[in-house]
Homo-oligomer: A and B are copies of this chain.
Amino acid sequence: MGNLRDSLFAPVESEIVLVEEGIKAVADVDYPWLAELLGYIVSSGGKRLRPALTLLTGKLKDGCNLDLLIPVATGVELLHTATLVHDDTIDLSHRRRGKPTAANIWGWGIATLAGDYLFSKAAELVSQACNIRADRLFAQTLTALCTGELEESFTSFDQNQTRQSYLRRIGNKTASLFSMATESGGIVAEASEEAIQALRSYGYNLGMAFQIVDDILDFTAGEEELGKPVASDLLQGHLTLPAILLKEQYPDSNPIRAIFEKREKEQNLELAIEMIRSSEIVPECYRVAQDFTAEAYRALEIFPESPCQRALLELTDYVVERQK
């Protein structure tokens, strides 16, 4: 898997550059202390997968107005950034992408406000498309994201998290933003209603697969690649698909109860990681992810072949095969 920029994002290469500029421009404010804070947050990088989805889906339609599409793609990425800032603040995370978090440097009060500020900038950017449907989708997506995060907080260390509640939760906290990214591409490009619904389905299913793979990597990757401890979700009391399958397969003798009850936490955590890695759980999780990407792939069948369509199809492989 090469660099996303050089391969999958090729059809929107010049537009991604403009999105990057739009992201950096958020820090162009009169107050030096605010410029520093925002500059720090928005320069922390990222794959830019979500804005690329907006650009690729928008450009599926001939004659899509890029002056409207680019601010929306930029807004999608800033919405993602805002949620990360709040996540880090709430989780008391010290590092993200190898750098100290804003909450770590400026304190969580200021980090909370910085996240709010980025929500508003994201909303402003989306509103530049002058499209009521895009504005409403933005608001509904933020509601879904918050619902997912709240469900995560409310159910942490709850032994009764199920596969169903897991799928609902990641649908809200991750797939909603992917589906907004792709649906708003179609909306801004004034695609047909059939096309918009197909793009929505594509984004949703891609997002589901993306999060499942994230949750697999949380157990299978090393601390270095993850940039955080292995099995950090389990440590925070969140049952993701691998852990739920472990519970399903060993209902009477799995180490999760002990971890949640903080009994011999380290040994039991190591045991859980080992049980997941050495069993059929990981391939099973990948099968679930692939079911979603197959659905995403099918949603694109109604579109004629084009460089953007090919890139979107290839992204369904990327999200499953990626190593971080």
Contacts and interface: CB of A to CB of B under 8 A. Distances in A.
A112 to B, nearest CB: 6
A63 interface: no
Given A130-B132, A135-B127, A136-B127, A113 B150 contact: yes
Given A90-B112, A132-B130, A121 B143 contact: yes
Interface residues of A, number: 45
Nearest to A130: B132
Nearest to A140: B124
Contact of A116 (B29, B119, B124, B136): B119
Interface string A22-38: 00000001010110010
Given A31-B151, A110-B153, A150-B34, A142 B116 contact: yes
Contact of A117 (B120, B132, B136, B150): B150
A238 to B, nearest CB: 13
Nearest to A154: B33
A123 interface: yes
Given A90-B109, A124-B136, A127-B132, A150 B119 contact: no
Interface string A100-140: 00000000111011111101110110111011100110111
A120 B154 CA distance: 19
Contacts of A114: 146, 150
Nearest to A142: B120
A79 to B, nearest CB: 10
A86 interface: yes
A117 B143 contact: yes
Contact of A112 (B29, B86, B128, B147): B86
How many monomers of this chain does the complex have? 2
A89 interface: yes
Nearest to A89: B112
A214 interface: no
A302 to B, nearest CB: 28
A149 interface: yes
Contacts of A90: 109, 112-113
A154 B110 CA distance: 8
A112 B91 CA distance: 12
A65 to B, nearest CB: 15
Given A112-B90, A124-B140, A154-B110, A119 B117 contact: no
A130 B143 CA distance: 18
Given A113-B153, A114-B146, A120-B139, 19 more contacts: A33-B150, A33-B154, A34-B147, A34-B151, A34-B154, A91-B109, A108-B108, A113-B146, A113-B149, A116-B116, A116-B119, A116-B142, A119-B119, A120-B143, A120-B145, A121-B139, A121-B143, A123-B139, A124-B140
8 contacts: A31-B151, A86-B116, A90-B112, A110-B154, A114-B146, A116-B119, A117-B146, A123-B138
